[in-house]
């Protein structure tokens, strides 16, 4: 069987499996192994390199360079051998790997838990949103919880769906695991705090590069689909053009600006991380107060964009492979 067609089938099975069924809670998730690999590499490299700014930065660059290539080589080599042995075995394993790469279903479920929590109390909403954001949530108001959830849905549309999709379409499940390693490194060490200010530089920069195109593709698709989701497409486009760089990250505000404009909300702004106040620019205009239903609206746009992107990727792979 044509390997490009196998990739298309595995990608579609993995995406639909994760979105409709989810990863079984009792199963070990492969990305946990990636996280353990990163933690082990960090300990080893910190012991090997000098404890100075230059030494920490060099150690972080070594890790950011080596680990994605390691996961690419191991997963790619395994799939190559499996396909050589049996295309059915290769397809089954690659489908399972793709299942662990995407996150539209888990993102939907996590956002819905926040909305459900808010229906009981603000404190329940804070607890639910604390599981999907990095900021301190203890002092968030109801509107703050809603905006935090909406921002997470918008940002993770690119990080958790479109970017993995692009790399999986280009390099199969091995390409997807390359990206997931980069993204997991950034989520673990890409902080501007005392511990990771220098060590995490390499991971953060590599993540910025890998997400540059997917973030912008995500934003354009969101604008195109906003009207079909009952949201304001024109305002989404205007806000994207104006505010897409109103963030310390060159990529995060791409999708957040579209979401803010589509919903008529103001996102971003100052936030507390690890007990420290971080000054952040606002994104969008506060045309109305945030309401719990905005979480469901953001999820609807996220799912529509995810589904459309996967359909386009699969059709492109089938066309190339055919």
Q: What SS3 class is residue 283?
A: strand
CA distance 29 to 315: 28
pTM: 0.93
Joined together, the tokens standing for residue 262 give: 């589509």
Domain count, the chain: 1
Which candidate, 272, 269, 266, places its Cα nearest to that of 248? Answer: 269
Could you give the count of Cα atoms lying within 13 Å of 246 in the half-sphere of its Cβ? 22
Please give the C-alpha separations between residue 142 and each of 42, 264, 311, in angstroms, as whole numbers.
38, 17, 36
Joined together, the tokens standing for residue 272 give: 């507390």
pLDDT top residue among 161 and 194: 161
For residue 193, give every residue at least 6 positions away whose Cβ sits within 8 Å of its Cβ, in sequence order, or none.
273, 274, 276
Region of 48 (left: φ > 0; alpha: ψ -120 to 50; beta: rest) is: alpha
Q: What is the pLDDT of residues 184-204, one digit of tens each?
A: 999 888 877 778 888 889 999
Q: What is the pLDDT of residues 103-145, one digit of tens each?
A: 999 999 999 999 999 999 999 999 998 888 877 778 888 998 9
Predicted pLDDT at 249: 86
Predicted pLDDT at 191: 79
Band (pLDDT 50/70/90 cuts) for residue 66 is very high
Q: What is the pLDDT of residues 252-276, one digit of tens each?
A: 899 999 999 999 999 987 666 666 6
Contact 72, 177 (CB under 8 A): yes
Domain limits for position 315: 3-321
What average pLDDT score do residues 272-283 get? 73
What average pLDDT score do residues 67-95 get? 94
CA 35 to chain CA centroid, Å, is 15
Please say if the pLDDT value at position 183 is more than 90: yes
pLDDT top residue among 21 and 193: 21
Q: What SS3 class is residue 46?
A: helix
Predicted pLDDT at 199: 87
Predicted pLDDT at 20: 93
């Amino acid at each position: 069987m044509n390997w490009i067609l196998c990739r298309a089938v595995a990608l579609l099975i993995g995406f639909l499996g994760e979105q409709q069924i989810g990863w079984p809670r009792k199963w070990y998730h492969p990305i946990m192994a990636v996280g353990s690999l990163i933690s082990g590499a960090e300990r080893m490299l910190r012991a090997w390199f000098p404890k100075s700014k230059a030494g920490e930065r060099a150690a972080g660059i070594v890790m950011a360079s080596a680990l994605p290539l390691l996961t690419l080589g191991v997963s790619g080599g395994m799939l190559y051998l499996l396909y050589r042995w049996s295309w059915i075995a290769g397809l089954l394993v690659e489908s399972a790997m793709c299942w662990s790469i995407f996150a539209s279903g888990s993102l939907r479920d996590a956002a819905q838990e926040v909305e459900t929590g808010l229906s009981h109390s603000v404190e329940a909403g804070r607890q639910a949103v604390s599981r999907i954001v990095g900021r301190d949530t203890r002092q968030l108001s109801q509107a703050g919880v809603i905006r935090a959830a909406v921002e997470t849905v918008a940002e993770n549309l690119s990080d958790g769906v479109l970017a993995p999709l692009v790399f999986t379409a280009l390099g199969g499940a091995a390409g997807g695991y390359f990206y997931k390693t980069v993204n997991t490194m950034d989520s673990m060490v890409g902080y501007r705090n005392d511990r990771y200010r220098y060590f995490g530089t390499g991971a953060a920069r590599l993540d910025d590069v890998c997400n540059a195109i997917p973030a912008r593709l995500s934003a354009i698709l969101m604008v195109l689909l906003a009207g079909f989701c009952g949201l304001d497409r024109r305002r989404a486009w205007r806000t994207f053009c104006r505010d897409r760089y109103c963030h310390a990250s060159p990529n995060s505000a791409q999708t957040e600006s579209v979401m803010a404009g589509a919903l008529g909300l103001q996102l971003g702004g100052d936030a507390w991380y690890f007990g420290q106040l971080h000054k952040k620019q606002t994104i969008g205009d506060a045309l109305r107060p945030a309401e719990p239903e905005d979480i469901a609206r953001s999820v609807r746009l996220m799912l529509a964009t995810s589904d459309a992107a996967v359909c386009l990727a699969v059709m492109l792979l089938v066309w190339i492979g055919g």
